[in-house]
């Protein structure tokens, strides 16, 4: 057994012991919930590994793709709202969407007027004028339609289709957003790309949070249909175990496909582009096109994982999508596990999520013990907000963890394996 294989074996054995301790301390229902949520993050992590580990793309807008995919999955799978379909809402919404489409066509046509010989500076001015006029015109039609939907039916509702179709459509729409975002950001430097993706992510969240006619906004939507029997039908442990089996199958399928792709000529080409862009371009490779492929593929997988993660929570709340949970934490998982190593990604996701979820109960236990000893030995009275302080310990522990990893294992606990060819 090689040193690397021995290291993997030791680390995964330690992780298994850690999972067993969580089950023993917190119980089967809690442990199953933790593993299901970790499996959702693992799917998201594999998608981000494609972008960062395979192509070197710094995507800080992960939250936006998760939120959009979760909404699309909700819209596809949630039961039909008969109040909406029996009202005048569908017709009004159809005309409003047609107005938005016509406005988009007008803006696109104005942006292409340079093909007719119009100088570029006048083309830009014309495009901005058409954009302003088209926006005001479309908004004058769209706002009354959405207000009528909220007044008559509260919101649009869903389509009542199977859950698996909702997850697939969530991934497809996340990939479509990735295509649009990639066309804008892939030509930017890494730091500028991070700012752009973060800004677009916040725009997506703001839209979902304020579109009451479409998402119910801050009123939330629940319960989201599950792909397996719910806890009310099967019990907490059995239903969560069934959900875990679905997400585990998804992880295995995605993992195997990514491993095969990374070992193929396509994978060699992507490594060449990542490691030496100038040399790859000199060999005739279309750098931006290949990076766009990776960006789209990664976002499709992120979308599927985000849909699976939010579906398990059984509630859709746009306000619940925060960068700490849905961007920063995932980046910590990737960095700790090892960028460019799919096995390291899965390991890092599970380890970091255990640390994230168990920091609060562990800190609360330690605080309670310290308060007891302090009262007995020194007459010290503990603060009344110990639960709140224990909750905040999660961020401290995660920050300390990533600091130690970057100091002693800058390439991650399971770094990318060097590829050798005969």
pLDDT digits (tens, 9 = 90+) for 23-80: 999 889 999 999 999 999 999 999 999 988 888 888 899 999 999 999 999 999 999 9
What is the predicted pLDDT for the residue at 159? 92
Axis-axis angle for helices 329-337, 28-49 (nearest 10)? 80
**Number of C-alpha atoms within 13 angstroms, CB side, residue 230?**
11
Axis-axis angle for helices 62-77, 287-313 (nearest 10)? 60
2 falls in which pLDDT band (50, 70, 90)? confident
402 falls in which pLDDT band (50, 70, 90)? confident
Residue 398 in this model has a pLDDT that exceeds 80: yes
For residue 41 the two structure tokens come to 């993050």
The predicted-structure confidence for 147-174, as pLDDT tens digits, reads as follows 889 888 889 989 999 999 999 999 999 9
Vertex 408: Cα angle to 404 and 412 (nearest 5) = 85
Q: Which of 378, 398, 346 is closest to 19 using CA atoms?
A: 346
**With pLDDT > 70 as the criterion, what percentage of the chain qualifies?**
95
What is the predicted pLDDT for the residue at 309? 95
Of residues 285 and 106, the one with the higher pLDDT is 106
Q: How far are the Cα atoms of 2, 44, 367 from residue 358, in angstroms, in the given order?
A: 33, 21, 14
The answer to whether 99 touches 142, Cβ cutoff 8 Å, is yes
Q: How far are the Cα atoms of 9, 18, 258, 259, 342 from residue 5, in angstroms, in the given order?
A: 6, 20, 20, 17, 14
For residue 351 the two structure tokens come to 């380890």
Residue 139 in this model has a pLDDT that exceeds 80: yes
Task: Count the neighbouring beta carbons within 10 Å of the beta carbon of residue 293.
Answer: 17
Task: Count the neighbouring beta carbons within 10 Å of the beta carbon of residue 101.
Answer: 11
The radius of gyration of the chain's CA atoms, rounded to the nearest angstrom, is: 24
Q: Which of 104, 181, 86 is closest to 142 using CA atoms?
A: 104
The answer to whether 67 touches 204, Cβ cutoff 8 Å, is yes
Maximum CA pair distance of the chain?
87
For residue 280 the two structure tokens come to 């790859």
Give the right CATH number for 3-81+155-408 from 1.10.3470, 1.10.540, 1.20.1740, 1.10.1060. Answer: 1.10.3470
Q: How far are the Cα atoms of 160, 380, 396, 412 from residue 367, in angstroms, in the given order?
A: 47, 13, 15, 31
What is the predicted pLDDT for the residue at 374? 64
Residue 421 in this model has a pLDDT that exceeds 60: no
Of residues 39 and 288, the one with the higher pLDDT is 39
Token look-up 């310290």 returns 370
The answer to whether 200 touches 64, Cβ cutoff 8 Å, is yes
Q: Which of 219, 268, 248, 250 is closest to 421 using CA atoms?
A: 268
Residue 303 in this model has a pLDDT that exceeds 90: yes
For residue 209 the two structure tokens come to 């949070």
Q: What's the mean pLDDT when you consider all of the chain?
A: 87
376 falls in which pLDDT band (50, 70, 90)? low
Q: Under DSSP, is residue 3 helix (H, G, I), strand (E, B) or coil?
A: helix
Rounded CA-CA distance 137/142 in Å is: 9
Rounded CA-CA distance 2/422 in Å is: 19
Of residues 395 and 134, the one with the higher pLDDT is 134
Four-CA torsion 357, 359, 361, 367, nearest 10 degrees: -170
Rounded CA-CA distance 92/7 in Å is: 62
Rounded average pLDDT over 383-398: 75
Residue 94 in this model has a pLDDT that exceeds 60: yes
Task: Count the neighbouring beta carbons within 10 Å of the beta carbon of residue 64.
Answer: 33
Q: Under DSSP, is residue 398 helix (H, G, I), strand (E, B) or coil?
A: helix
Rounded average pLDDT over 406-415: 85
What is the predicted pLDDT for the residue at 194? 83
Residue 422 in this model has a pLDDT that exceeds 60: no
Rounded average pLDDT over 239-268: 91
What is this structure's pTM?
Answer: 0.91
312 falls in which pLDDT band (50, 70, 90)? very high
């Amino acid at each position: 057994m090689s040193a690397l294989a021995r290291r993997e074996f030791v680390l995964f054995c330690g992780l298994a012991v850690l999972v067993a301790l969580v089950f023993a301390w917190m119980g089967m229902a809690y442990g199953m919930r933790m593993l299901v949520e970790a499996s959702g993050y693992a799917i998201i992590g594999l998608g981000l590994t494609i972008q960062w580990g395979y192509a070197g793309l710094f995507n800080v807008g992960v939250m936006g793709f998760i939120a959009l995919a979760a909404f699309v999955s909700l819209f596809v799978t949630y039961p039909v709202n008969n109040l909406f379909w029996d009202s005048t809402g569908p017709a009004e919404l159809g005309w409003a969407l047609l107005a938005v489409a016509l406005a988009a066509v007008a803006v696109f046509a104005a942006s292409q007027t340079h093909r007719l010989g119009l100088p570029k500076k006048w083309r830009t001015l014309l495009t901005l004028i058409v954009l302003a006029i088209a926006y005001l015109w479309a908004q004058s039609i769209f706002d009354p339609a959405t207000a009528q939907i909220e007044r008559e039916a509260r919101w649009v509702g869903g389509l009542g289709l199977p859950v698996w179709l909702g997850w697939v459509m969530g991934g497809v729409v996340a990939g479509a957003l990735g295509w649009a975002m990639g066309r804008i950001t892939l030509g930017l430097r890494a730091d500028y790309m991070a700012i752009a993706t973060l800004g677009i992510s916040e725009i997506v969240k703001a839209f979902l949070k304020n579109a009451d006619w479409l998402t119910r906004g801050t009123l939330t939507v629940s319960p989201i249909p599950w792909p397996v029997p719910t806890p009310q039908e099967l019990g907490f442990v059995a239903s969560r175990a069934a959900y875990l089996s679905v997400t585990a199958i998804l992880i295995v399928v995605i993992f195997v496909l990514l491993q095969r792709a990374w070992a193929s000529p396509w994978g060699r080409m992507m490594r060449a582009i990542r490691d030496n862009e100038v040399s790859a371009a000199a060999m005739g490779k279309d750098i931006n096109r290949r990076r766009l492929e990776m960006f789209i593929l990664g976002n499709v997988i992120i979308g599927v994982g985000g849909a699976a993660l939010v579906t398990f929570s059984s509630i859709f709340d746009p306000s619940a999508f925060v960068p700490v949970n849905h961007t920063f934490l995932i980046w910590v998982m990737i960095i700790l596990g090892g960028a460019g190593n799919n096995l390291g990604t899965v390991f890092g996701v599970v380890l970091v999520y255990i640390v994230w979820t168990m920091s609060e109960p562990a800190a609360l236990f330690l605080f309670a013990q310290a308060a007891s000893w302090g009262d007995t030995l020194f007459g010290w009275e503990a603060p009344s907000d110990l639960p709140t302080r224990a909750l905040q310990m999660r961020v401290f522990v995660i920050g300390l963890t990533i600091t130690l990893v970057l100091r002693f294992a800058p390439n991650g606990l399971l770094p990318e394996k060097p590829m050798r060819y005969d």
